[in-house]
Amino acid sequence: MEKEKYYITTPIYYPSANFHIGHCYTTIISDAIARYKRLCGYDVFYLTGTDEHGQKIQKKAEEVGVTPQQYVDEIVENAKDLWKSLKISYDKFIRTTDEEHVKCVQKIFEKLYDKGDIYKGEYKGLYCTPCESFWTENQLVDGKCPDCGREVNMVTEEAYFFRLSKYQDRLIKYYDDNPHFIEPESRKNEMINNFIKPGLEDLCVSRTSFDWGIPVTFDDKHVVYVWIDALSNYISALGYLSDDDSLYKKYWPANLHIVGKEIVRFHTIIWPIMLMALDLPLPKMVFGHGWLVIDGGKISKSLGNYKDPREYIDSYGVDAVRYFVLREVPFGSDGNFSEEALINRTNGDLANILGNLVNRTIGMINKYFDGIVEDTSIKEDIDNSLINETLELKDKVNKYMDSLEVSKALEAIFDLLRSCNKYIDETTPWVLVKDESKHDRLKTVLYNLVETIRIATVLLQAYLPDTAESIFRQLNTNITGYDSISTFGKYKSGTKVNSPEVLFKRIEKEK
């Protein structure tokens, strides 16, 4: 049977030498979802990349005395390197300077122009260069950019416009007919009340004041507005309007665009209208996640609270960083980041609950039975209650992942691991071992622990890939598939476990 497809994207990142832990949130959460869907048997396509055009990049390149292309070529490696350190399992990395992307955007612009949805006019407006956004007087906050608080400049130029206004009613109808298009719900209300109800104005979609952008083919003093360029990546990456559009045919529409809350409006207003104008199907869901903040505020180099995420990976391990990010930020809201909170999570959940459980279990099997795990099949009430809880895990995690409550999915897994530690305390293996007649009972206890750990680890693969690999190695099992967790007892009785590996060391606070 052909697998069901699942297309998930992150936004494409502005190339930067200074990515911080907040930037990693979007890619880590998308990665966990992509890995989870692959585990469940979907044919997943996970896209990320870089957004490389615009005045901001051009200025930076000028500052350091290189061409914009040289500037982005060098810096884009930083993103790829960071995603590699974080074990981000993307299927494609798109750059908006890729030739196929450039051609695709040019064709999209031509199509919309030919259709009359893009027309030529004159633009007069207030422009925020760092945000690449135009604002009206009313939208400013204290006369400054409402997004970043910086100065805006009055700009007048000949420009092309995109008829957003024409599609306003269709967009509202689409929201109504597809109640899960924007998640969480609060973001939808924000879009309707703040942007759509006041009336959509046509959008200025070309620039003549700088040239680091995709040229408009029929009027080459204009370059395409970066957001039109950038949003198109979700279909250009699949070969839309190219000689080979097989990926496009297979994967579009996207199942999920994961984006930070500040760019929800581009993804739920401009992007769906572009697709409507192109007569293409719309993505099934745009999920606007919250931010990682420090003391309630932004993470930034100038505020002095910035550290390269690779420093945390080096100190605490990649899965500690992944776990923190996935566990700490609840569904859609902001989460506070501090190194202390990262250490607390690592010690509390990863070292004390998971690490300790695996270590104790493997240690006891090696010590009491020379590493051999045997199931004697005699179950007591206390066993059945652990087994039932274990068998409920798959559905629980599935329910949370369906609603993108990744943090709750992890919480459910760790609740089960906690129950395992309790099970050890209650069955007291160290007492059973002293009485030869209780050795069969002891074998069962250890088997139940191993099988429960295995089942939890099958699911953990989505979130903590390195840790899961190490646990499977310690358990000496290759029964790691999603199908193997619907029944209890797939771990082969008679298997000899390997020697223990330290999963997470407790971190001393001084560090």
Q: Residue 90, interface with ligand ME8 (CB under 6 A)?
A: no
Q: Residue 272, interface with ligand ME8 (CB under 6 A)?
A: no
End-to-end CA distance of the chain, in Å? Answer: 52
- What is the pattern of x (binds ligand ME8, CB under 6 A) and - over residues 133-172? ----------------------------------------
**Which one of 8, 11, 424, 464 is in contact with ligand ME8 (CB under 6 A)?**
11
Q: Residue 383, interface with ligand ME8 (CB under 6 A)?
A: no
Q: Which is nearer to ligand ME8, 200 or 259 (CB)?
A: 259
Q: Residue 299, interface with ligand ME8 (CB under 6 A)?
A: yes
Window of 11-19, 240-248, 356-364, 383-391 that interacts with ligand ME8 by CB under 6 A = 11-19
Shortest separation between residue 124's beta carbon and ligand ME8, angstroms: 26
**Residue 319 and residue 466 in contact, taking contact as beta carbons nearer than 8 Å:** yes
Q: Which of 222, 225, 115, 90 is nearest to 166 (CA)?
A: 115
Q: Residue for token digits 């809880």? A: 389
Q: Which of 191, 418, 459 is nearest to 326 (CA)?
A: 459
Q: Residue 23, interface with ligand ME8 (CB under 6 A)?
A: yes
Q: How far apart are CA 330 and CA 404, in angstroms?
A: 10
Positive or negative, the Cα torsion across 467, 470, 474, 477? positive
Q: How far apart are CA 310 and CA 19, in angstroms?
A: 10
Shortest separation between residue 254's beta carbon and ligand ME8, angstroms: 12
Residues with Cβ within 8 Å of residue 441, at least 6 apart in sequence = 376, 378, 432
Q: Which is nearer to ligand ME8, 27 or 474 (CB)?
A: 27
Q: How far apart are CA 186 and CA 267, in angstroms?
A: 15
Q: How far apart are CA 54 and CA 179, in angstroms?
A: 34
As given in the structure block, the two tokens for residue 268 are 């739920």
**Which one of 68, 260, 283, 429 is in contact with ligand ME8 (CB under 6 A)?**
260
Shortest separation between residue 125's beta carbon and ligand ME8, angstroms: 21
**Which one of 292, 353, 446, 485 is in contact with ligand ME8 (CB under 6 A)?**
292
**Which one of 263, 282, 321, 416 is in contact with ligand ME8 (CB under 6 A)?**
263
Shortest separation between residue 229's beta carbon and ligand ME8, angstroms: 9
Q: How far apart are CA 467 and CA 486, in angstroms?
A: 22
Peptide bond into 198 cis (omega under 30): no
**Which one of 7, 8, 12, 108 is in contact with ligand ME8 (CB under 6 A)?**
12
Q: How far apart are CA 335 and CA 329, in angstroms?
A: 4
Q: Which is nearer to ligand ME8, 204 or 230 (CB)?
A: 230
Residue nearest to ligand ME8 (CB): 260
Q: Residue 26, interface with ligand ME8 (CB under 6 A)?
A: yes
Q: Which is nearer to ligand ME8, 260 or 272 (CB)?
A: 260
**Which one of 7, 25, 400, 414 is in contact with ligand ME8 (CB under 6 A)?**
25
Shortest separation between residue 271's beta carbon and ligand ME8, angstroms: 8
Considering only residues 203 to 222 of the shown chain, the ones binding ligand ME8 according to CB under 6 A are: none
Q: How far apart are CA 220 and CA 506, in angstroms?
A: 60
Q: How many CB atoms lie within 10 A of CB 99?
A: 8
Q: How far apart are CA 410 and CA 467, in angstroms?
A: 14
Q: Which is nearer to ligand ME8, 14 or 127 (CB)?
A: 14
Window of 7-15, 86-94, 145-153, 209-217 that interacts with ligand ME8 by CB under 6 A = 7-15
Q: Residue for token digits 């997004």? A: 147
Window of 19-27, 179-187, 215-223, 484-492 that interacts with ligand ME8 by CB under 6 A = 19-27
Shortest separation between residue 262's beta carbon and ligand ME8, angstroms: 6
Secondary element (H or E) of residue 44: strand 43-50
Window of 173-181, 199-207, 258-266, 404-412 that interacts with ligand ME8 by CB under 6 A = 258-266
Q: How far apart are CA 21 and CA 308, in angstroms?
A: 7
Total residues belonging to the chain = 511
**Which one of 228, 259, 274, 445 is in contact with ligand ME8 (CB under 6 A)?**
259
Contacts with ligand ME8 by CB under 6 A: the residue count is 19
Q: How far apart are CA 131 and CA 144, in angstroms?
A: 12
Q: Residue 49, interface with ligand ME8 (CB under 6 A)?
A: no
Q: Residue for token digits 């899960």? A: 180
Q: Residue 13, interface with ligand ME8 (CB under 6 A)?
A: yes
Alpha-carbon distance values, 117 to 165, 204, 231, 255, 409 (Å):
10, 12, 17, 26, 44
| Long-range CB contact pairs, 244-248, < 8 A, 24+ | 247/45
Residues with Cβ within 8 Å of residue 198, at least 6 apart in sequence = none
Q: Residue 343, interface with ligand ME8 (CB under 6 A)?
A: no
Q: Residue 224, interface with ligand ME8 (CB under 6 A)?
A: no
Residues with Cβ within 8 Å of residue 73, at least 6 apart in sequence = none
Window of 12-20, 40-48, 244-252, 272-280 that interacts with ligand ME8 by CB under 6 A = 12-20
Q: Residue 94, interface with ligand ME8 (CB under 6 A)?
A: no
Q: How far apart are CA 410 and CA 259, in angstroms?
A: 21
Shortest separation between residue 227's beta carbon and ligand ME8, angstroms: 7
> Would you tell me which residues interact with ligand ME8 (CB under 6 A)?
11-14, 22-23, 25-26, 51, 230-231, 233, 259-260, 262-263, 291-292, 299
